[in-house]
Structure 1
Amino acid sequence: MSSNENGCVTDKKESIPTESRPFGLDDILVKIGEFGKFQFRFVVVIIFLIAFHTIVKYGFIFTASTVVYRCRVPECDGTENFYQQPWTDFTIPKTASGQLEKCQRFKTFNSTNTSSENVCYATNYDQESRTGCGTDFIFRDKEVTIAHDFKVFCSDEWKLAIVGSTNNLGQVIGIPLGGYISDRYGRSKVLACAALASAIIGVVRSFSINLYMFAFLGCLDNVFGSTIYGTAFVLAMEFIGPNVRSYTGTLLPMFGGISRFLLGLAAKNFLNWRLIERILYIPALGFIALPWILPESVRWLLSHEKEEEATKILRRAAKINKRKLSDASIEKLLQANRKTISGVETNKSQLVEAFKVFPWRIMNCSFCWFSTIFIFMGLSLNLSLLGRNRYNSFMYLGLIEIPGTLLPPMTINRFGRKYSLCGFMFLTGIFITAMTFVPSDSGTTRLVLYLLGKMFITGVFQIIYIFTSEVFPTSARNSLLAFCSMFGRFGSMIAPQTPLMAKYYASAPGILFASSAFLSGSLVLFLPETNNVVLPTTLKDAENIGQKEIKIQPDTETEAQETLLTSKAEK
C-alpha cells in the first residue's frame, strides 16, 4: 500500500492478495469487482446524501440572512416604493462605504406637516438631525427571509447570527454522537434515520412562527444532518475496491462544491425562505426508502460477528456485478475475521497517556482544525465582503472548491505534509489580506482574490485530515483525530458572528481570517513531517516521528487506509 498523489493511502495493485498479511475484505472486493454496477448504484445514492448534507449545513445562509433596506420616508415614498430614489440623497444618511443607512433618516424642519406634498425637497430636511424608522422599511430586493417574517431589523439584527451559531452547535453535538452510534448500531441504519429525521425537521421548520423556533429546529436539524456526510463517505469507501478507492475518495468531496453551486442557484430563483425550505426538504422525505436501498457496511457486520448478513451482501454484490464468489473465499474471509476479532485488545489509557506525552502536538493540531474551519465557514458566510450579488458569489465559492480539492495531489508528496499545509495556509492569508486593500469599487479584483483564498483553504481541509491522522499513534489515532475535529467545530460556531464585525469596520472579518491563517500556518511548522514515514503504532513511535528516517513499507499502511477513510468527515 502506498500514498497516492493526493495524499490518500491506497493499495498497490500487486499487494492484493499478498502473503504478508491476512486475507481480508479487500481481497474479496477485488474478486467481486472493485467498482461494478453494485458500487455504482451505491455511490449515486451517496451523492444525493452529500447534496442533502450541503442543504442542511449551508441553507441558513439564505433563509436567515440579513437584507438590504432603508427607512420609509412618508413625505416622499408613494405607492411605488423603490429602494434607490433621487431624493434618498437628502432624506437618508449614508454609511462610510457610501451605502444608505438602514435604520435612520433625516428629520424634516417642519415635522408637523409631513403629509404635505411639498415637503419632499432637500431644503426641508435637516442634515444634522436624524431619527429612527420605527417599523416601516423599504427593501431593495424581492427576497423574503426570516428577517422579514419575524421583524428582525436594526438593533435586533444581531439575533440572525444566533441561527448560524445554533446550527454549528448542532454539529458539535451531532458529529461525535453520530460516530459513536454508527459504530455501535451500524452505518446504514444511522444514515437512514439521520437523513429522514433531518428532512422531517426541515419541513417542520418551514412553518416556524418565530426566530427562536427556527433556531432551535436548525440546531436539531444539524444534530442529525451533520452525521450524514461522514457516515455516507465511510460507507461508500467500505464497498469500493482498494485500487479505485482513492479516486472515488477524491471525487466524492467535489460533489459538495457542486451541491453548493446548486443551492445558490435554487435560492436565487426561489426568493421566499419558506418556499426554499419546502422545495429542498420535501424531496428528501424519500430517504425513508434508504433501509431498502443501502446495505449495511460489511466491515461493520464482520467486526460485530454478523457473518450471515455480511455473506448475503457480498453474494448479492457479486451477482449484480456478474462475478463469481466461491464458498472457499467466503470461509477464508470469515476465519481471518474471527482470528482478528479474538486478538483485539483495547487500551483506553492510551488516550490519557497521549495528552501527557505530546500535549503541545494535540493543542497545535486542534488549533489548526479550529483555524481551518473558522476560515472556511467564515469565507462562506461573509459574502458581503465582495459587495456583489451574494447568490452568484456563493455559487462561485462552491465551484472554486473543485480545484481546491485537486490541489493537494500536486504538493503533498512532493513537498511534504506540513510544508504543503503551511504553504496553503499562507496563500490563503495572502489573498485575503490583499483583498482587504483593494478598493470596494474594484469588484472583479476583490472577487478573484476572495475565490483564491477559498480555493486554498479548501486545499487545507484536504491535507489536514491526512496530516493529523499521521502524527498520532494507532492506539489513540481515531480518538485524537475526533478530539481535534470537535475542537475545530468551535470555529464554525464563531464564524457566523464575524459578519457583525463588518458593520463597524468593513475589513475586520478579512483581517481576522488572514491573521488566523498566518498564525496557524506558522505553528504547523513545529509539527513533525510524516511524508514517507512509517505510521506510528505506539505512543513512543509517535513521539519519535521526525527523529529518524523510516520509509513506509507496503505492509505497514493497512491500518492507515482504514483511518483515512473513517476520518474524512465533512467540512
Structure 2
Amino acid sequence: MVFADLLEQVGSTGRFQVVHTTLLCLPILMMASQNILQNFVAAVPPHFCSAHTNLTASTRMSAAEKLQITVPIDANGSPEKCRRYESPQWHLLANNGSTDPEVWEDPEQAALRGCDDGWTYDERERSSSIISEWHLVCSLRPLKSMGQTVYMGGVLVGAGVFGALADRFGRRVLLTMSYLLMAVSGTCAAFSPSFSLFCLFRFMCGMALSGVVLNSFSLIVEWIPTRVRTVIGTGTGYCYTMGQLILALVAYFIRDWRWLTFAVSLPFYVAFLYSWWLLESSRWLVLKNKPEQAVENLRLVARYNGRQADGEKIDVEMVKSSMKKEMSGCKSSYTTLDLFRTPTMRKMTVCLCAVWFSTSFAYYGLSMDLQKFGVDIYLIQVIFGAADIPAKVIINITMSYCGRRLSQCGGLVLAGITILSNLLVPYDKQMLRTCLAVLGKGCLAASFNCCYLYSGELYPTILRQSGLGWVSMMARLGAMVAPLVLLLGEYVTWLPGLIYGLVPVLSGVAAFLLPETLNIPLPDTIQDVEDSKHWHNSLEQIVLDLAMCILGLMWGKLT
C-alpha cells in the first residue's frame, strides 16, 4: 500500500476535498487584485502645472483662461505636463487666445520653467490616486514603476522565506500567517501617510501573497488524487482570472485609491479566521516523522467523507509502512541547496527557473501599463481578464491530451510570437494592437496555469514548497524587471516589446528539457526524482510527443 491508497481509502474526491479546495481557492480570487492593483491606484490622471501664485482667486478669469496664460501647448495641441510660462502670458488673452508660435514662443516673453507651484489634476476619471496624492509625475515619474517593483520584490522575498519555512514548519500554519499579514499590511498601505510607507507595506503584501499562493497550492495538490490534478489546477487558475474581473468591478465603484486598497484587503481577515479549520497535509506530516497526527487527519477526512469505518482501520503502523521507502530516504532537514545537489534536480530547477521568469516577465510587462492601449482602463481590464478564460480551457485540454511539457512550451512560444508581431503593427491601429496583446496575455496566463501544476508535480513532497518557492522567486524577479523595461520605451519605443517577445520564445526551449508528468504519481523524495524513468529529452521523443498530442486531440473529438 502507498499513500495514494490511503487517500482512496478515506475518500480522495469526497465532500472534504470539495470544501477544502473551495476554501483555499476563495482567497485566490483576490490575488489578482493585489498583483494588478497598480493599474488603478497608480493611474496617471491628465495633469498640468498649477497657475502662478499671483493669479489669486480674486482674479476674474475662468479656469480655461488661467490655463491658457500659464501653460504652453505641446506638439499634440495639449497643455504641457511638466512646464509652464515663467510669468503669465497676458497677451494671449488680448489676442483672443491665439497660440500662434510667433506670439507665444518669443524667448523674452515666453521663457519656460518647471511646475514650481505644483500640478493640477483632472480627477473626473478617479477621485484620487497615489500619483496625484504624492505628485509622482515629471521628474518623479519613475517612482510609479518603482512602487510596483518594490511590491514584486516583496513577492520574491516571500517566495524564498515562506517556501523554505513551509517545508520545515508545515503548510497550514504558514498559510494562516500569510492571510493575517496580507490583511494587516493591505490595511496599513491603504492609510499610509507617505509614499515610502506605502511602498513598505506593499512590500509586505507581496511577501504575504507568496505565502498564500504557494501554501494554498500545496495543500490542494497533496489532498487530491492524481487523476483530478489537471482539472483542479485549472480551476484554481480560473479563480485568479475571475479576480481580475472582480477588481475591475470594485475599482469602477470605488474611485478613491485608499478605499480601493482597503476593500481588496478585507477578505483576508475572513480567510484568516476560517484557515484554522484547514487540515495539514498528512503526506508532509509522515515525512516529518509525525505519523500520529497524520493518522488523526486521515481519520477526520474519512469521517467528513462518510467513510468513518474505513478511517478507523488506519493506524500508525499502516501509515509508516505505506511510506516506508519515502521515510527512509528523508533526512532531518533540507535547504534550498538540495534543489541543486543532484543532477536531475539541478537540471529540473534551472529549466523551471527560465520558464517561470519568462512567463512572469512578459505577463506583467503586458498587464501593468493598460493606459498605453488608449482604451477605457476598466474596459481593457475586463477584456484582459476575460481573455484568460478560453486560454485556460485550451491549456486544460492540451495538458490532458498532449501533456504538460508541450503545453508549457507551446504557451510560451505562441505568447512571444504574438508580442513580437505587435511590433509590426502601426501605432494608430489600436484595435489590432489590443487584440494581439490580449492574445499574448491569454497565452501567458495559460503558461502560468501550467507552471503551478507542472512544478508541483515535478518537485518531491519533501522539497515541494522549497522548489515552488525558488521558482516563484524567479517569477517575481521577472515581475520586478518588467516595469523597469518599460522605462526603455522613453528612449527606444519598440525595445520593450522586442524584449518582452524574445524572452518567452527562448525559454520555450527550456521547457522541452523537462520530463512529462501526465498521469505520473507525485514524487515524495529526491531519490524518487533521480530514479525517475520519465526524462526523455531526445528529438525523437519530442516528435513522438507531438504526434501523440495530435492523435489525442483527434480521439477527443471523435469521442
Q: Is the 8 A contact 2:221 2:229 kept in 1?
A: yes
- Taking a change above 3 Å as real, the CA distance of residues 407 and 273 of structure 1, as seen in their structure-2 partners, is same
Give the secondary-structure state (helix, strand or coil) at the position aligned to 1:122: coil
TM-score, normalised to structure 1, is 0.78
1:45 maps to which of 23, 33, 42:
23
The answer for the alignment partner of 1:163 in structure 2 is 147
The answer for the alignment partner of 1:265 in structure 2 is 249
The answer for the alignment partner of 1:255 in structure 2 is 239
One-letter amino acid of the counterpart of residue 433, structure 1: L
- Following TM superposition, by how much is the alpha carbon of 1:218 offset from its aligned partner in structure 2, in angstroms? 0.8
Q: Is the 8 A contact 2:159 2:472 kept in 1?
A: no
Stretch of structure 1 that moved more, 477-486 or 490-499: 477-486
Q: Is the 8 A contact 2:214 2:465 kept in 1?
A: no
Structure 2 unmatched ranges of 5 or more: 543-559
- Following TM superposition, by how much is the alpha carbon of 1:468 offset from its aligned partner in structure 2, in angstroms? 6.3
Structure 1 unmatched ranges of 5 or more: 1-21, 552-571
Alignment of 1:151-550 (within 5 A): 151-326=135-310, 327-330=312-315, 333-337=318-322, 339-340=324-325, 342-346=327-331, 351-354=339-342, 363=350, 365-412=352-399, 419-465=406-452, 482-521=469-508, 523-524=509-510, 527=513, 530=516, 537=528, 545-546=536-537
Deviation string 1:422-478 (CA, Å, 9 cap, x unpaired) is 433332123223333334443332221111011112222344456667888999887
- Following TM superposition, by how much is the alpha carbon of 1:243 offset from its aligned partner in structure 2, in angstroms? 3.9
Aligned length, in residue pairs: 522
One-letter amino acid of the counterpart of residue 213, structure 2: Y
- Taking a change above 3 Å as real, the CA distance of residues 437 and 548 of structure 1, as seen in their structure-2 partners, is closer
- Taking a change above 3 Å as real, the CA distance of residues 328 and 221 of structure 1, as seen in their structure-2 partners, is same
- Following TM superposition, by how much is the alpha carbon of 1:213 offset from its aligned partner in structure 2, in angstroms? 0.7
- Taking a change above 3 Å as real, the CA distance of residues 505 and 300 of structure 1, as seen in their structure-2 partners, is same
Q: Is the 8 A contact 2:16 2:305 kept in 1?
A: yes
- Following TM superposition, by how much is the alpha carbon of 1:542 offset from its aligned partner in structure 2, in angstroms? 8.3
- Following TM superposition, by how much is the alpha carbon of 1:337 offset from its aligned partner in structure 2, in angstroms? 4.8
One-letter amino acid of the counterpart of residue 132, structure 1: G
Q: Is the 8 A contact 1:90 1:127 kept in 2?
A: no
Q: Is the 8 A contact 1:91 1:106 kept in 2?
A: yes
Deviation string 1:272-325 (CA, Å, 9 cap, x unpaired) is 111112222234322341343222222233333434433333333333332333
TM-score, normalised to structure 2, is 0.80
The answer for the alignment partner of 1:9 in structure 2 is none
CA distance in 1, matches of 2:296, 2:460: 35
- Taking a change above 3 Å as real, the CA distance of residues 168 and 452 of structure 1, as seen in their structure-2 partners, is same
Q: Is the 8 A contact 2:418 2:436 kept in 1?
A: yes
- Taking a change above 3 Å as real, the CA distance of residues 287 and 55 of structure 1, as seen in their structure-2 partners, is same
Asked if residue 93 in structure 1 is aligned to residue 45 in structure 2, the reply is no
- Taking a change above 3 Å as real, the CA distance of residues 526 and 184 of structure 1, as seen in their structure-2 partners, is closer
Deviation string 1:43-67 (CA, Å, 9 cap, x unpaired) is 2221222123333333233223433
CA distance in 1, matches of 2:235, 2:80: 45
- Taking a change above 3 Å as real, the CA distance of residues 28 and 527 of structure 1, as seen in their structure-2 partners, is closer
Q: Is the 8 A contact 1:106 1:125 kept in 2?
A: no
Stretch of structure 1 that moved more, 533-542 or 414-423: 533-542
The answer for the alignment partner of 1:122 in structure 2 is 99
One-letter amino acid of the counterpart of residue 181, structure 2: A
Q: Is the 8 A contact 2:351 2:511 kept in 1?
A: no
- Taking a change above 3 Å as real, the CA distance of residues 390 and 500 of structure 1, as seen in their structure-2 partners, is farther
1:70 maps to which of 21, 33, 48:
48
Q: Is the 8 A contact 1:68 1:139 kept in 2?
A: yes
Give the secondary-structure state (helix, strand or coil) at the position aligned to 1:546: coil
Give the secondary-structure state (helix, strand or coil) at the position aligned to 1:137: strand
The answer for the alignment partner of 2:120 in structure 1 is 137
One-letter amino acid of the counterpart of residue 22, structure 2: V
Give the secondary-structure state (helix, strand or coil) at the position aligned to 1:70: strand
- Following TM superposition, by how much is the alpha carbon of 1:408 offset from its aligned partner in structure 2, in angstroms? 2.6
The answer for the alignment partner of 2:556 in structure 1 is none
One-letter amino acid of the counterpart of residue 41, structure 2: T
Deviation string 1:172-191 (CA, Å, 9 cap, x unpaired) is 11112112212222221111
CA distance in 1, matches of 2:168, 2:349: 26
Identity %: 24
CA distance in 1, matches of 2:350, 2:193: 42
CA distance in 1, matches of 2:531, 2:304: 47
Give the secondary-structure state (helix, strand or coil) at the position aligned to 1:229: helix
The answer for the alignment partner of 2:551 in structure 1 is none
One-letter amino acid of the counterpart of residue 46, structure 1: L
The answer for the alignment partner of 2:550 in structure 1 is none
Asked if residue 34 in structure 1 is aligned to residue 12 in structure 2, the reply is yes
CA distance in 1, matches of 2:534, 2:229: 30
One-letter amino acid of the counterpart of residue 174, structure 1: G
Give the secondary-structure state (helix, strand or coil) at the position aligned to 1:133: coil
The answer for the alignment partner of 1:568 in structure 2 is none
Deviation string 1:223-259 (CA, Å, 9 cap, x unpaired) is 1222101211221233334443432222111110101
